Amino acid sequence: MSASIQSIEAILVDIPTIRPHKLSMTTMGVQTMVIVRIKDSEGLEGLGEATTIGGLAYGPESPESVKLTIDTYFAPLLLNQPADEINTLRVRLNRATRGNNLAKSAIETALLDLLGKRLNQPLHQLLGGAVHQHIPVLWTLASGDTARDIDEAKSLIAARRHCDFKLKIGSRPLMDDVRHVAAIKAAVGDSASVRVDVNQAWDESTAARGMAELQAAGIDLVEQPTPMKDFGALVRLSQKFHLPILADESVADATDMFTLAAAGFSGSVALKIAKAGGPLQALKVANVASAAGIGLYGGTLLEGTIGTAAALHAWATLEKLHVGTEMFGPLLMKDDIVVTPLNFNNNGVTLPEGPGLGIEIDEEQLARYRRR
């Protein structure tokens, strides 16, 4: 007889960032996480997390709406159900509720963590086992100040904390952004890979001009230059330039991935457990991308340690992460709510050990940062 779900709690947690984090659509000074705790009839607890970027600035779900959705709509569907039947519970949720993938991701993560704890197996083992124990992680230079970004990059390279960098651009005039990026690439030279993330800020003609300039400056990758719904622009730009494109906001789930690949897109895709609806769903996107010859990248919505660990367990099962990962969310926050933080080292992060996620809540820290 399987244990049943006894309680589901969704907690808003606000942690300041180490510096303002500037994107094309917002500047963040605090990250809000929704921490989900699912307890079963045997007294075990599974942890999940949902985050987004800048409230409603990034997408249609906010931390507050995620909490409301879980408390009001998901909990009644899940309480007293068998905790181990993750696929059945997902079907049950999807039949009764539309969208809300961030909230569904937190639930799927917590159920997987719970199952791992019951079986005394790490989450990656439930997904077929880890191919990698150490995963590369880039860093986003997002102060917006060229000199400060160069100093930050050089110190991180020297400390062997990161050797690949992403720059958030798109909020300023095109050539201002190009000069900013080109100066940073010139400063770090061949010692580091430099990519840019436009977060949908350009139209197609601006993107064509921008990509020509960035290609000449030695930039390695351009993430989501054009609006998410404009699949045609991504396809045309990917065919026009040898500077690769990383599709992010355009691809939430496996259906989006299939549609974009079938239209002729070549490049890479940013996998995100939050966009897809959980670690299992993100791996479905990876399967479609791999079948279409599209490269893989481990993406983040700047999750804290719980959400980051969930993604790492999924990415560790993939044979190749062609353009690495950006699982640096916990490093952007001034503090943490877990007993043992992730071990960032040697230009990457070590896969956590222990059953489930391998992560334990620090109750005092949770109480400190919990929204009143």
Of 211, 219, 280, the C-alpha closest to 239 is: 211
Q: Active site residue: 39, 168, 272, 275, which one?
A: 168
- Residues in contact with 346: Cβ distance below 8 Å, sequence separation at least 6, in sequence order: 134, 160
Contact 72, 10 (CB under 8 A): no
What is the 3 state secondary structure string of the chain?
A: CCCEEEEEEEEEEEEEEEEEEECCCCEEEEEEEEEEEEEECCCCEEEEEEECCCCCCCCCCCHHHHHHHHHHHHHHHHCCCECCCHHHHHHHHHHHCCCCHHHHHHHHHHHHHHHHHHHCCEHHHHCCCCCCCEEECCEEECCCCHHHHHHHHHHHHHCCCCCEEEEECCCCCHHHHHHHHHHHHHHHHHHCEEEEECCCCCCHHHHHHHHHHHHHCCCCCEECCCCCCCHHHHHHHHHHCCCCEEECCCCCCHHHHHHHHHCCCCCEEEECHHHHCCHHHHHHHHHHHHHCCCEEEECCCCCCHHHHHHHHHHHCCCCCCCCCECCCHHHHECCCCECCCCCEECCEEECCCCCECCCCECHHHHHHHECC
| 67 among known catalytic residues | no
Six token digits for residue 299: 């993406």
Q: Helices 146-158 and 174-188, interaxial angle, to 10°? A: 30
206, burial (CB in 10 Å: exposed 0-12, middle 13-18, buried 19+): middle
CB atoms within 10 A of CB 268: 23
| 326 among known catalytic residues | yes
Contact 19, 50 (CB under 8 A): no
Positions annotated as catalytic residues are 168, 326
